[in-house]
Amino acid sequence: MRADVLRLPMAHPGDLSALDVAIASGRVEAASIVAIIGKTEGNGGVNDFTRGYFTQSLMALLASHTGETAATLAGRIPCVLSGGTEGVLSPHYLVFSRTGDHTSVSTGPALAIGTAFSSPMDPADIGRRAHVESVAAAVRAAMADAGIDDPAEVRLVQVKAPCVTSARAEAARHAGRTVLTADPGRSMAFARAAGTLGVGLALGELSAPSEAAMLSDFTVTCDRASISSGVEVEANEVIVLGNSPTWSGPLRMAHRPMADALDIAAVVAALDDLGLDARPQLTPSDKARIRGVLVKCEPDRRGMIRAQRHTMLDDTDINAQRHIRGAVGGLVAGVIGDTRIFVSGGAEHQGPDGGGLIAIIAEIPGSLS
Amino acid sequence: MRADVLRLPMAHPGDLSALDVAIASGRVEAASIVAIIGKTEGNGGVNDFTRGYFTQSLMALLASHTGETAATLAGRIPCVLSGGTEGVLSPHYLVFSRTGDHTSVSTGPALAIGTAFSSPMDPADIGRRAHVESVAAAVRAAMADAGIDDPAEVRLVQVKAPCVTSARAEAARHAGRTVLTADPGRSMAFARAAGTLGVGLALGELSAPSEAAMLSDFTVTCDRASISSGVEVEANEVIVLGNSPTWSGPLRMAHRPMADALDIAAVVAALDDLGLDARPQLTPSDKARIRGVLVKCEPDRRGMIRAQRHTMLDDTDINAQRHIRGAVGGLVAGVIGDTRIFVSGGAEHQGPDGGGLIAIIAEIPGSLS
Amino acid sequence: MRADVLRLPMAHPGDLSALDVAIASGRVEAASIVAIIGKTEGNGGVNDFTRGYFTQSLMALLASHTGETAATLAGRIPCVLSGGTEGVLSPHYLVFSRTGDHTSVSTGPALAIGTAFSSPMDPADIGRRAHVESVAAAVRAAMADAGIDDPAEVRLVQVKAPCVTSARAEAARHAGRTVLTADPGRSMAFARAAGTLGVGLALGELSAPSEAAMLSDFTVTCDRASISSGVEVEANEVIVLGNSPTWSGPLRMAHRPMADALDIAAVVAALDDLGLDARPQLTPSDKARIRGVLVKCEPDRRGMIRAQRHTMLDDTDINAQRHIRGAVGGLVAGVIGDTRIFVSGGAEHQGPDGGGLIAIIAEIPGSLS
Amino acid sequence: MRADVLRLPMAHPGDLSALDVAIASGRVEAASIVAIIGKTEGNGGVNDFTRGYFTQSLMALLASHTGETAATLAGRIPCVLSGGTEGVLSPHYLVFSRTGDHTSVSTGPALAIGTAFSSPMDPADIGRRAHVESVAAAVRAAMADAGIDDPAEVRLVQVKAPCVTSARAEAARHAGRTVLTADPGRSMAFARAAGTLGVGLALGELSAPSEAAMLSDFTVTCDRASISSGVEVEANEVIVLGNSPTWSGPLRMAHRPMADALDIAAVVAALDDLGLDARPQLTPSDKARIRGVLVKCEPDRRGMIRAQRHTMLDDTDINAQRHIRGAVGGLVAGVIGDTRIFVSGGAEHQGPDGGGLIAIIAEIPGSLS
């Protein structure tokens, strides 16, 4: 198997023309597309409709090419979007495809990808132990889909997990059950926590994590889990990305935890792993080898970064997640020399407390693509 | 002469307790303070009152120590504040003082500082040729105050220039004159342009710049001008900072133009000039030598950064200057390893179009402080 | 002919389920729908994508019912959306349909509706005399479509006019022409001004208005023009609404200019015209007769409302149009007792300076519907 | 005793010039000032520093007139500020004074005012039963200060209550106690709840309310309690306003609960009580009799207003309290015909759930002032 990644621009959240062109020109076959990860220019909050707009447009486009219905496609292809292109960030999306083409030669383990959907979650289970286990099972399924046996080969697990809404809380009540919290924002945070613990469990990093640790004990972390949560999904959608000796192609992925929002060393180290020197910035030719950069971060909950006060958490005008995405996005874009960085907030348990993680996909020199 | 810089935190915009402690403990003498440059946690716009609150609190504190009135102090000590601590940025202020103390030894040219106030501006002159010349004259006066003859010794000229307000436009009308524009935001931009050209003229970089170039020909630039504009001043307030062989003390300043918002190389190069290696980040001991970091930047008016679209200029929710301060602040803070960065937007003509400039004050190893 | 209006809720900007149900249940025939006016929950600015999302979803739904393509429908059915449901405002849309059904009896002139599209505008003409005349011609065409000869029968003309974008400015330049302004916000304001003058010209209220009056002489007004502008259209889309003796059905429309943002008397007077007493608020049964409320308003450009300062124009955190929509929406909703109010900002020349206009559609008692 | 109220404008949050003029001209004697209630143009959130700026400026001004220190004045004169002049609202403040002057004649009970400060709160008590009792005791003290025995004479009790901060939570921990919540926003809500229950207890409306009711049982309400909470106070500051037969002067106060954000009838009824007819709006001469309008409101927590969805609670761009203040402010300003309305959010338990209350001070015709 061989995985490919296209990084495409959009003029607005309903603009899929670049993918249309790529399909028309044969750069990618519609039927080979297995996942999308993208950054749209909304506010990233509950009332960010750029994600729904993009997804509707994407599924309509793919439907016109594959003949499937949009609903079928939405149940088969994870589309994980993060709203908010604060600061220098550029709206873009990564199109992951895989083919059986074997003409390419890798110089080592190559990028592997697998996906899975869990069963729809009972709203009363969201953010609880059952949620952790549902994610863990889906991660194992996605690893199997990718043909990855060894958890050490996994570099990043991207999960999109459902959260509680008023309607779902009501449905749970009717069924005689109680949701963990009816506050959507809080529920999303618990869903991200449960997702992270599920990934950690599947990867063997965490053993039987307790419910009590969620949103409470931030020493419990998984550096390879990137979780988003939203009302738009009912099941856990999982994308496993790794480097596998059984896959071919020129791409490889590296990742690092980020200790805090200033951890430029983590960015540089992940690039080092891919043979890319960024001291202080990639050369144009090295930059051209980058296919995707994925970052998780969050405003330090203690209100300080390296002993200095920050003001993100007390700002009534700008949401704290928008602040941190803009800042960490500016840093990573500066090191890479490119503003097409996927930066997502809400990094509870995903990497060190107050920090997060970075994962980079790049073409490896010497590979025949 | 010897210049010193204290970098102090504030808990809120009315909190001058750190300076009060510094004066009480003898770290700085109130009478030796000649200028303040600071970053407060407002929105940085027309309705940012954190600047006025800080200034009122500062002048009241100094008045209690020097016996002068707050009004006298405000007419003698430039207090240049930039609102907006987006992202990781930490509210803080730099206290510049100078003394005749000669016990310190420099290993070369040392930080020099001079200040000057122009006469109050006629509102009808703001943003015009007369404004350029008023600033140029004040810069020359501040250079003389610093004992700097050679413009090459200047590293940064910080100017705070008045802008037109409705009341000032009305006053001009009564006097039979017309203001360039009655739009406060536009007037502030013209004032920054005039200030930059005035600095360029005084430093010999620009010769007789035409009015027509302002906000129009962005190839006309000055890399050592950092201009802010606001309703709170009536005269041009000027702070000249440089390195002079006739000054002593352990501090030195370096600066670089920034080509764009991703120009991490400029940050690293300015640090190199001070003997500080940041590949990728300063060591803790090197970081401790930093006394102040001053940055100007702005969202590229062409809507692109290195060929990728950005969304700052079309955002109705977050002001474009807030976006860019957060992003560039995140980058510079990451390189330095410290969030106490003065980042100001509105960089018209101040460095390359779409970029800006960076200036850093640091202690030089081997100096006896 | 008979005009009908459905007022439908949406759960989010892509939710057309209420219309789907209305079509499925026979409350409205898809083929009879001639226009949509709606309020979506975006920010109402350049980066408000809720309008595009709603329109895409609407046209897809209608296409599934009529068999036409979405593009054909978009070229035939004006869909005028205003983003921003600030304060108490509720996202909703009005579906205008017309049928040849003659079984209903009116007690007098009944609601009439006509629509028209101009040719696509040359970007260089936007905001100029040619734009005024294009709108005037389209208004006359829409009046003819509605069978209205007498301009006195017109109550409101809703126009959606194109504005200049960077791409369009570039195209004009290649064609050897120059756009009036390349600033999108400014271009939208000019387009609204030109639209208003075009409506005034067609209705015989204004005679040969000069280009110079636009955005300059605010004594030139038209109380029956409601104009929005956006990048999403290339032609002027016009909806004429009036009361005509040749139309039947139970609906009638009233309108009033609003002198300022506090002009509650105008709201009450428009309701009086429809036999509805709102002193201080409609009774529940009277409220049930309301089918649509359309308001235009704007923050007074002089910074004062009835001699007291307002702060809308200087707010860097919240756009001034969002402020005024929330305030006037709160007032009108309070008088009506219902939060489904279409409130649109940007009322240049549309009613008195600093004010705007209100138009109300209601069922007339005694009519057989 | 006689109470007077001046309603004064400010050009910015540090502008007390109108009060300075009023004192200089003898309209009010500095020593007779007992309380201030005002609306400043900040965002009304945790990072709204306009309140601190105004208070600092006010106390400095009064200190220059009375010879007391600013700290002494701050411990004697409650200064209750609400940030946020959304929509049409105009920044202004009410200066309450009282004198022994007996030359005026009332036509019935006249405006009475009393104030009190509780002891500083132990942070661990905030939002608990002890907080309720502390407020109740202070209300009784303020009633005694006003010479009011009968709770029925009270029209409004304005309270400013302290909340937990990180530092206070830490202090409590060191003292071996636990705070109710360390989340500042949540703590402020609990403080408002405790304040309301304290007022209700002192006025005899509520008997021994349980802690469990706070922020949980919203049928427990007090229509005469208006509570704000902030980090800037350590004690509960209380202003009792009522109509008393033992007071003289031309002023009287009326109040009404507001059932929801559209309850225009409540506004009109409160005006009716004062002999003012607002159907639909006050006449200019009646408007001139108004001295102060105080409103509490909040976005309905159930997400609906009169069965229609609102979007305030899900908006990541604009805080929900800013939304509701703008809407209800627009409504009340429209009825009064004046934009100087004090509108404060966070109305938990203060009036009906989803609504709030209104209180109006006006001059009574026939009074000799």
How does pLDDT run across C124-183, given as a tens digit for each residue?
A: 999 999 999 999 999 999 999 999 999 999 999 999 999 998 788 888 989 999 999 888
Say yes or no for a CB contact (<8 Å) between A264 and B335: yes
Phi, psi (deg, nearest 5) at residue A51: -70, -45
C-alpha to C-alpha distance for B355 and B305, rounded to whole angstroms:
10
Q: Which CATH number applies to B251-369?
A: 3.30.1330.160
Put simply, the answer to whether A14 touches C56 (Cβ < 8 Å) is: yes
* Lowest pLDDT segment from B123-137, C291-305, D95-109: D95-109
Q: What is the mean pLDDT of residues A232-248?
A: 95
**φ, ψ dihedrals at D96, nearest 5°:** -95, 130
Q: From chain A, pick out residues whose CB is under 8 angstroms from the CB of B86.
A: 318, 323, 326-327
Q: Where are the domains of chain C?
A: 1-103, 110-241, 250-369
pLDDT for position A369: 47
> CA-to-CA distance for B145 and B147, rounded, in angstroms?
5
CB of B56 within 8 Å of a chain D CB? The answer is yes
Distance of alpha carbon D3 from the chain centroid: 17
The amino acid at residue C365 is P
Structure tokens at A179: 């949701």
The residue count of chain D comes to: 369
- CB contact B218 to D (< 8 Å): no
Cα A21 to Cα A32, A68, C276, D49: the distances in Å are 15, 19, 57, 52
* Secondary-structure percent of chain D, ordered helix, strand, coil, rounded to 5: 35, 25, 40
Q: Nearest-5° angle of CA B24, CA B26, CA B27?
A: 110
Q: Please answer yes or no on whether B184 and C314 come within 8 Å at the CB atom.
A: yes
Strands A290-296 and B79-83: unpaired
Q: Strands A356-363, A154-162: parallel, antiparallel or unpaired by DSSP? A: unpaired
- 3-state secondary structure at position D193: helix
pLDDT of residue B369: 47
Angle at Cα B164 formed by Cα B163 and Cα B168, nearest 5°?
130
Could you give the CA distance from residue A154 to residue A144 in angstroms, rounded to a whole number?
12
Nearest to D246 by CA among D99, D100, D98, D112: D112
Q: Helix A184-202 vs helix A129-146: angle between axes, to the nearest 10 degrees?
A: 50
Q: Residue B37's closest CA among B369, B328, B332, B294?
A: B294
D344's enclosing H/E stretch is strand D342-344
Rounded Cα distance between C67 and A108, Å, is 53
pLDDT per residue as tens digits for the range B180-191: 998 888 899 999
Q: Give the residue from A298, A311, A324 with the most B CB atoms within 10 Å of its CB, the best one to mutate.
A: A311
Beta strand spans in C212-289 (E):
225-230, 235-244, 251-258
Contacts with D, A 24-43, CB within 8 Å? 43
Return left, alpha or beta for B127; rule: phi > 0 is left, psi -120 to 50 is alpha, else beta: left
B50 sits in which H/E element: helix B50-66
Which of D12, D41, D49 lies at the smallest CB-CB distance from B12?
D49
Check whether A232 is labelled as a binding-site residue. no
Q: B309 among the known binding-site residues?
A: no
CA distance C260 to C301: 11
**Helix/strand/coil percent split, chain A, to 5:** 35, 25, 40
Give the mean pLDDT of A155-180: 91
Q: Which of 311-350 (D) contact B at CB < 8 A?
A: 317
Provide, as residue numbers in chain B, all residues whose Cβ is less than 8 Å from the Cβ of D53.
13-14, 49, 52-53, 56
C-beta of residue B45 within 8 angstroms of C-beta of residue B83:
yes
ipTM above 0.85, yes or no: yes
Give the whole-angstrom CA distance, residue B207 versus residue B201. Answer: 6
pLDDT digits (tens, 9 = 90+) for C200-250: 999 999 987 788 999 999 999 999 999 999 888 999 999 999 999 999 999
Average pLDDT over residues C256-268: 98
Cβ distance of C327 and D330 shorter than 8 Å? yes
Q: Tokens 């969002």 identify what position?
A: C322
C39 is catalytic: no
Measured between CB atoms, does D309 come within 8 Å of chain A? Answer: no
Cα–Cα distance for residue pair D107/A173, rounded to 1 Å: 58
Q: What is the pLDDT of residue C369?
A: 47
Write out residues 118-147 of B within 8 Å (CB-CB) of C.
none
Query: With contact defined as beta carbons under 8 Å apart, do C203 and C121 qualify?
Result: no
- Helix (H/G/I), strand (E/B), else coil: B121: coil
Q: Are A275 and A365 in contact (CB under 8 A)?
A: yes
Length of chain C equals: 369
Do the chains contact at A43 and D166, CB–CB below 8 Å?
no
Please give the model's pTM, rounded to 2 decimal places.
0.96
Radius of gyration of the CA atoms of chain B, in A: 19
Q: Please give chain D's pLDDT, 369 residues, in tens.
A: 999 999 999 999 999 999 999 999 999 999 999 999 999 999 999 899 999 999 999 999 999 999 999 999 999 999 999 999 999 999 999 999 999 866 666 667 999 999 999 999 999 999 999 999 999 999 999 999 999 999 999 999 999 999 998 788 888 989 999 999 888 888 999 999 999 999 999 999 998 778 899 999 999 999 999 999 988 899 999 999 999 999 999 999 999 999 999 999 999 999 999 999 999 999 999 999 999 999 999 999 999 999 999 999 999 999 999 999 999 999 999 999 999 999 999 999 999 999 999 999 999 977 644
> Binding site for substrate: which residues of C?
51, 82-83, 192, 228-229, 325, 344-345
Q: Name which of C364, C240, C342 is nearest C290 in CA terms.
A: C364
Token pair of A100 as six digits: 């059986």
Q: Is A57 an interface residue toward C (CB < 8 Å)? A: yes
B53 in reach of chain D (CB within 8 A): yes
Residue B297 has what pLDDT?
Answer: 98
Give B87→chain C minimum CA distance, Å: 16
Contact yes or no for C324/C339 (Cβ under 8 A): no
In tens, the pLDDT along A264-322 reads: 999 999 999 999 999 999 999 999 999 999 999 999 999 999 999 999 999 999 999 99
Q: How many residues does chain B have?
A: 369
Select from A87, A50, A88, A164 the least CA-distant residue to A318.
A87
Handedness of CA A94, A100, A105, A106 (dihedral sign): positive
> Closest by alpha carbon to C281, among D262, D332, D269?
D262
- According to DSSP, the β-strands at C342-344 and C290-296 are parallel
Tell me the nearest-neighbour CA distance from B236 into chain A, angstroms. Answer: 31
Rounded CA separation D315/A48 (Å): 9
Helices (H), chain A: 17-24, 50-66, 70-74, 129-146, 166-174, 184-202, 264-273, 284-287, 320-336
Instruction: Tell me whether residues D317 and A47 touch, CB distance under 8 A.
Output: yes
Chains in touch with B (3+ beta-carbon pairs under 8 Å) read A, C, D
- Fill in the DSSP letter of residue D27: S
Give C14's contacts in chain A (Cβ within 8 Å). Answer: 49, 52-53, 56
- Residue from B222, B220, B202 nearest B212 by CA: B220
| Cα torsion C163, C166, C167, C171: sign | positive
* pLDDT value at residue A211: 87
A92-124 pLDDT, tens digit each = 999 999 998 666 666 679 999 999 999 999 999
Beta-carbon contacts of C228 under 8 Å, excluding residues fewer than 6 positions away, are C80, C82, C158, C159, C160, C161, C192, C344, C346
Query: Which of residues C316 and B230 earns the better pLDDT score?
Result: C316
Residues D137, D143, D144, D148, Cα dihedral to 10°: -140
CATH class of segment(s) A110-241: alpha beta
Residues from chain C that touch B45, judged by Cβ atoms under 8 A, are 314-317
Domain A1-103 CATH (choose: 3.40.50.970, 3.20.20.370, 3.30.1330.170, 3.40.50.300): 3.30.1330.170
Distance between CA B332 and CA B357 in Å, rounded?
11
D250-369: what fold? 60s Ribosomal Protein L30; Chain: A; (3.30.1330)
Task: Give Cα separations from A76 to A32, A203, B152, B168 (angstroms).
Answer: 12, 23, 65, 64
Report the distance separating Cα B48 and Cα B159, nearest Å.
19
* Tens of pLDDT, residues C49-103: 999 999 999 999 999 999 999 999 999 999 999 999 999 999 999 999 999 866 6
Q: How far lies C26's CA from each of C20, C29, C31, C35, C248, in Å?
A: 10, 6, 12, 18, 20
- For residue D307, with 0-12 CB atoms within 10 Å meaning exposed, 13-18 middle and 19 or more buried, which class applies? exposed
CB atoms within 10 A of CB B195: 34
**Yes or no, beta carbons of B48 and C316 under 8 Å apart:** yes
Identify the pLDDT of residue D369: 47
What is the C-alpha separation between D331 and B27, in angstroms, rounded? 56
With CB atoms and an 8 Å threshold, state whether A323 touches B326: yes
Instruction: Give the integer Cα–Cα distance in Å for A368 and A2.
Output: 12
> Which own/partner contact pairs does D103-106 have at CB distance under 8 Å and 24+ positions apart?
D104/D2, D104/D248, D104/D249, D104/D250, D104/D367, D104/D368, D104/D369, D105/D248, D105/D367, D105/D368, D106/D247, D106/D248, D106/D249, D106/D250, D106/D364, D106/D367
Indicate yes or no: CB of B56 within 8 angstroms of CB of D12: no
The string of pLDDT tens digits covering residues B68-86 is: 999 999 999 999 999 999 9
Nearest alpha-carbon partner for B163 in B137, B130, B196, B185: B185
CB atoms within 10 A of CB B219: 8
B16/B37 Cα distance (integer angstroms): 13
